[in-house]
């Protein structure tokens, strides 16, 4: 027992992370050790490791924190410890800690000193860091050092300079292109890594010049490249040139094909495979060109190295899609791979054999696959199932063996995707092979007896309803369908009811039995099941001698109109005594013609803007207000609040791309304010229930909460509306501020079945604060003739005062600020201030809570110091309103 306990302890220790539970604040405190007079390299290295761990875990640092860490790191350049110095380089390169352009100079001198260090490791790392953090100006100063580093005798330094050049080419191409001579000299290096990086950089420099790339490939294919990595790169560049050049017009031979064929005789296995793969991927490759590549891949199939076997069988699998006959010579070798210990290799071997096998080999393959399926994961099983489906369509006479295999596999354990792949395959075979219909339906009937996935059950029931009545013995399917009504959830029960009705509509001798079964469904505890049963009983003529004439057309061909047109017609239909008329829905679907987009002219832009503004003023706001009013009147808690005065614009309460998206609309009544919270759950693995918004008054003593309406259920992606209502003094423009919290019950959703757990847990989500301002009590109203409207109001109601708006950038900014505060409608386009104007008059119009019209003249001027002065004149049908407008500005 003691021995077992010790083993368990060791297992626990192996799973323990030394960084588990560390906090950013504590690590930042530890980072102060970087400033110690006597540096402890080991302790400093531990702290840097913790910082790197936090960054890799997604931890973010504020500007202040990053700056403090960066300046502390610079103190570590005085340490000669190689391990610590490497960690310092890593930290400086990191985006979270990377210095800004004005801070780079702090470390530049230290890094340039390291570039000339006697320690080669310091030199290489300093080059990488400098090239990552410097701009074009500093790069010009160190270019001489970088050129020397490219041809340095030390492999690490040279490779670092070349890699840095590849990165710099994106931001400073002109500087890097001047290194061509040095890069070509590095190409002659005997170090494999240097030659590899030099070739990559040389190609990057010339990649936009097809002739230069062709010359590069021509010169290098003569045998100057020795590095296996560089040879693999060269093969890829050669294929690029081959694709761009095309075959020889006279002989039909491809340029450089001899080089690819020669690479297949290379000593290095990596180069051999790269060349063989490149040949198989050539556009329009012929069987003659494929032969040497397939020969090489066939040899790899019997290799002792799993990676070579996998690479070969994977490539042959791709070839089998376009040239199956060319791969048949490898079938014997691939059959031996079915028992390979690596399941990926075995799966690819089987699917390749299924693509290349002949009709006589199907039975033998099925026996081998049957033993193999239980040992592989679902993702591999799906690949095999899809390959078997293709084989069955290729050899329809073998449908019995293949269908039996699929049905047996369907009864095995597996996830939703695996089961769906099998069901989809059987459905396709039923549709494409008429003889396979009855056996396929029988297999599916047996499957739904134990099916745990709602989606698959409803899909199969739909198929049974459509195809079952057309079979020789429809009655044998009734038992399977009705069992679903007794044993399954509401969604499956509803689908089963529809399937039963289809049998009753088509098979006359079964109709009496179907009617009895449908009558039993009238007592179901789900309303949709009951409604469907009632509808179908009516269609099938329950209590009458014969069903309705349109029963079959309704059940099997519910509509011949496009779904887009039907959806649009249903959305525009308003409930009334006149029933919805399906005949009125347009039958023709207007094709969406793809038109080439052209930049609009200034005239077109102005016309579009004018049309948009007119549409918004005339109908957009009105339609939105009516929709809100209809929605609120339908809620009993708010029906007695009187006539809705105003609905505000949407106010966002969450950041973009958060877990829960929430915005709010403020609905203002004479004595109440209703807040409509539009909520959307964006987490697919969660179902939210009983979703409430808890509002607490931060400022504003006049408000009293009187009603709430939560969202009962909120699945992912389905918006819902929660409401909170406050009472205020009637006719008073009360202002206030509210804090908001989204509170709900979370239930986890199974991604495979889409069903939620029975039990959940309470959670909440903090939202942004929300204000009710004076502008919420003023309704924007357009005025066609402001002067006439101004003069029609009593001059005794006019209130005039002058204000200083302080320093502003221009008058346009001042007009925008005042218009936002008052929430009124600019008239006669006076909200647009001419450029460089020193004075301007803006006209505003609106209706105050209670219906009193109010008009405002804003006269503004700006001096040389950008100080803005404003004269505000207000007229209203109620003098009290005029005074209130001035109070808003004073506030």
Q: List pLDDT tens digits, range 434-447.
A: 888 888 888 888 88
- pLDDT recorded at residue 589: 53
- pLDDT recorded at residue 411: 79
pLDDT digits (tens, 9 = 90+) for 635-650: 888 878 888 888 888 8
- Domains of the chain by range and CATH? 367-447 (no CATH), 451-561 (1.25.10.10), 622-772 (2.60.40.1480), 776-890 (3.30.310.10)
What is the number of other CB atoms lying within 10 angstroms of the CB of residue 890? 8
For residue 31, pLDDT over 90 is answered with no
Q: Which structure tokens are listed for 504?
A: 């009753």
For residue 585, pLDDT over 80 is answered with no
The C-alpha atoms of residue 118 and residue 135 are separated, in whole angstroms, by 26
φ, ψ (nearest 5 deg) of residue 319: -65, -35
What is the number of other CB atoms lying within 10 angstroms of the CB of residue 132? 16
The pTM score is 0.52
For residue 7, pLDDT over 60 is answered with no
Q: Which whole-number Å values give the CA distances from 398 to 154, 260, 325, 357, 583, in the listed order?
A: 66, 41, 20, 13, 47
φ, ψ (nearest 5 deg) of residue 871: -110, 120
The C-alpha atoms of residue 720 and residue 711 are separated, in whole angstroms, by 6
For residue 4, pLDDT over 50 is answered with no
For residue 676, pLDDT over 90 is answered with yes
pLDDT digits (tens, 9 = 90+) for 94-103: 766 766 656 6
Is pLDDT larger for residue 101 or for residue 506?
Answer: 506
| Cα-only R_g, the chain | 38
Point out the least confidently predicted range of 188-197, 228-237, 359-368, 876-885.
Answer: 359-368
Point out the least confidently predicted range of 458-472, 473-487, 519-533, 749-763.
Answer: 749-763
- pLDDT recorded at residue 2: 46
- pLDDT recorded at residue 738: 92
On whether the CB atoms of residues 186 and 150 are closer than 8 A, the answer is yes
What is the helix (H) or strand (E) element at residue 677, kind and residue range?
Answer: strand 672-681
- Our CA angle for 747, 748, 751, nearest 5°, is 140
- pLDDT recorded at residue 273: 93
The C-alpha atoms of residue 541 and residue 548 are separated, in whole angstroms, by 6
As a whole number, the mean pLDDT across the chain is 82
pLDDT digits (tens, 9 = 90+) for 738-766: 999 999 999 888 877 777 787 888 989 99
User: Cβ-count burial of 222 within 10 angstroms (0-12 exposed, 13-18 middle, 19+ buried)?
Assistant: exposed
Mean pLDDT of 269-294: 89
On whether the CB atoms of residues 485 and 521 are closer than 8 A, the answer is yes
The C-alpha atoms of residue 528 and residue 522 are separated, in whole angstroms, by 10
Is pLDDT larger for residue 216 or for residue 582?
Answer: 216
Q: Greatest CA span in the chain, whole angstroms? A: 105
On whether the CB atoms of residues 364 and 401 are closer than 8 A, the answer is no
Confidence band for 683, pLDDT divided at 50, 70 and 90? confident
User: Which residues of 749-798 form beta strands (DSSP E)?
Assistant: 761-766, 770-772, 778-780
The percent of the chain in helix, strand and coil, each rounded to the nearest 5, is 60, 15, 30
Mean pLDDT of 322-338: 84
pLDDT digits (tens, 9 = 90+) for 112-164: 777 777 887 888 888 888 787 776 667 777 788 888 888 888 888 898 889 88
- pLDDT recorded at residue 338: 80
Mean pLDDT of 517-540: 88
Confidence band for 6, pLDDT divided at 50, 70 and 90? very low
DSSP state of 78: G
pLDDT digits (tens, 9 = 90+) for 559-572: 566 777 777 777 77
DSSP structure string for 223-280? TT---HHHHHHHHHHHHHHHHHH-S-TTT-PPTTHHHHHHHTT-SSHHHHHHHHHHHH
Confidence band for 196, pLDDT divided at 50, 70 and 90? very high
pLDDT digits (tens, 9 = 90+) for 589-632: 543 333 333 344 444 444 444 433 333 334 445 567 778 888 88
- Considering only CA atoms, which of 96, 97, 83, 153 is closest in space to residue 125? 83
The C-alpha atoms of residue 476 and residue 199 are separated, in whole angstroms, by 71
- pLDDT recorded at residue 786: 81
DSSP state of 221: T
Q: From its phi and psi, is residue 517 left (phi > 0), alpha (psi between -120 and 50) or beta?
A: alpha
Torsion of CA 681, 683, 688, 693, to 10 degrees: -40
């Amino acid at each position: 027992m003691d021995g077992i306990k010790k083993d368990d302890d060791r297992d626990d220790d192996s799973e323990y992370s030394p960084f588990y539970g560390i906090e950013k604040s504590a690590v930042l405190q530890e980072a102060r050790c970087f400033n110690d007079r006597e540096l402890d390299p080991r302790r400093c290295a531990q702290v840097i490791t913790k910082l790197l761990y936090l960054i890799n875990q997604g931890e973010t640092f504020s500007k202040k924190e990053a700056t403090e860490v960066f300046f502390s790191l610079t103190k570590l350049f005085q340490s000669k410890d190689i391990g610590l110095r490497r960690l310092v380089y890593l930290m400086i390169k990191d985006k979270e800690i990377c210095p800004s352009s004005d801070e780079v100079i702090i470390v530049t001198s230290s890094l340039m000193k390291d570039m000339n260090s006697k320690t080669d490791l310091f030199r290489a790392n300093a080059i990488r860091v400098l090239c990552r953090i410097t701009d074009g100006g500093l790069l010009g100063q160190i270019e001489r050092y970088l050129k020397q580093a490219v041809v340095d005798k030390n492999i690490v330094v040279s490779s670092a300079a070349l890699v840095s050049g590849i990165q710099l080419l994106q931001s400073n191409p002109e500087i890097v292109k001047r290194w061509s001579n040095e890069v070509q000299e590095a190409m002659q290096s005997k170090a494999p890594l240097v030659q590899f990086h030099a070739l990559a950089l040389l190609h990057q420099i010339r990649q936009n010049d097809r002739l230069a790339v062709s010359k590069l490939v021509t010169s290098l294919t003569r045998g100057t490249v020795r590095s296996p990595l560089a040879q693999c790169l060269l093969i890829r560049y050669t294929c690029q040139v081959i694709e761009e050049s095309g075959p020889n017009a006279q002989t039909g031979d491809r340029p450089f094909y001899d080089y690819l064929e020669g690479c297949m005789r290379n000593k290095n296995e990596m180069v051999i495979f790269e060349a063989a793969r490149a040949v198989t991927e050539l556009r329009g490759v012929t069987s003659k060109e494929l032969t040497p590549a397939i020969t090489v891949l066939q040899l790899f199939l019997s290799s002792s190295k799993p990676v070579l076997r996998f690479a070969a069988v994977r490539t042959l699998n791709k070839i089998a899609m376009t040239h199956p006959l060319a791969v048949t010579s490898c079938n014997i070798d691939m059959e031996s791979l079915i028992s390979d210990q690596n399941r990926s290799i075995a799966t690819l071997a089987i699917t390749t054999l299924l693509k290349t096998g002949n009709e006589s080999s199907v039975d033998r393959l099925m026996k081998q696959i049957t033993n193999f399926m239980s040992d592989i994961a679902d993702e591999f099983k799906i690949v095999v199932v899809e390959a078997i489906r293709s084989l069955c369509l290729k050899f329809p006479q073998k449908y019995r063996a293949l269908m039996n295999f699929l049905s047996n596999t369907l009864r095995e354990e597996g996830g939703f995707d695996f089961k769906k792949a099998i069901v989809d395959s059987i459905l396709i075979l039923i549709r494409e092979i008429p003889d396979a219909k009855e056996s396929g339906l029988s297999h599916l009937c047996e499957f739904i007896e134990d099916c745990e996935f709602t989606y698959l059950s409803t899909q199969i029931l739909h198929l049974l309803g459509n195809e079952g009545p057309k079979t020789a013995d429809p009655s044998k399917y009734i038992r399977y369908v009705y069992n679903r009504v007794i044993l399954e959830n509401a969604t499956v029960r509803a689908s089963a009811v529809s399937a039963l009705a289809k049998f009753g509509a088509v098979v006359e001798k079964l109709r009496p039995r179907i009617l009895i079964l449908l009558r039993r469904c009238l007592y179901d505890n789900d309303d949709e099941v009951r409604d469907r049963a009632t509808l179908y009983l009516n269609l099938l003529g329950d209590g009458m001698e014969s069903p309705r004439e349109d029963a079959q057309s309704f059940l099997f061909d519910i509509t011949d109109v496009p779904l887009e047109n039907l959806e649009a017609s249903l959305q525009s239909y308003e409930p009334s005594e006149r029933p919805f008329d399906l005949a009125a829905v347009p039958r023709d679907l207007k094709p969406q013609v793809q038109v080439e987009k052209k930049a609009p002219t200034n005239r077109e832009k102005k016309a579009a803007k004018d049309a948009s503004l007119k549409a918004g003023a005339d109908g957009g706001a009105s339609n939105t207000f009516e929709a809100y009013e209809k929605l609120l009147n339908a809620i009993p808690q708010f029906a007695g609040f009187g006539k809705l005065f105003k609905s505000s614009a949407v106010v966002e309460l969450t950041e973009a791309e958060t877990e829960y998206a929430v915005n709010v609309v403020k609905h203002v009544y004479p004595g109440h304010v209703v807040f409509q919270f539009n909520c959307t759950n964006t987490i697919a693995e969660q179902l939210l229930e009983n979703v409430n918004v808890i509002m607490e008054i931060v400022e504003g003593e006049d408000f009293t909460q009187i009603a709430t309406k939560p969202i009962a259920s909120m699945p992912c992606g389905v918006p819902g509306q929660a409401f909170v209502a406050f009472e205020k003094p009637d006719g008073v423009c009360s202002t206030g501020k509210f804090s908001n919290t989204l509170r709900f019950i979370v239930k986890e959703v199974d991604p495979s079945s889409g069903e939620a757990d029975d039990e959940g847990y309470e959670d909440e989500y903090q939202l942004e604060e929300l204000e009710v301002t004076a502008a919420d009590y003023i309704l924007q109203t357009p005025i066609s003739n402001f002067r006439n409207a101004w003069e029609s109001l009593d001059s005794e109601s006019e209130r005039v005062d002058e204000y200083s708006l302080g320093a502003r950038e221009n008058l346009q900014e001042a007009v925008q600020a005042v218009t936002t505060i008052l929430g009124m409608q600019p008239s006669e386009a006076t909200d647009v201030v001419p450029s460089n104007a020193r004075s301007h008059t803006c006209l505003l119009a609106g209706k105050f809570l209670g219906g009193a019209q109010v008009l405002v003249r804003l006269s503004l001027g700006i001096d040389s110091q950008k100080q803005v002065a404003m004269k505000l004149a207000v007229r209203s049908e109620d003098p009290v309103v005029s005074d209130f407008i001035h109070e808003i500005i004073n506030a």
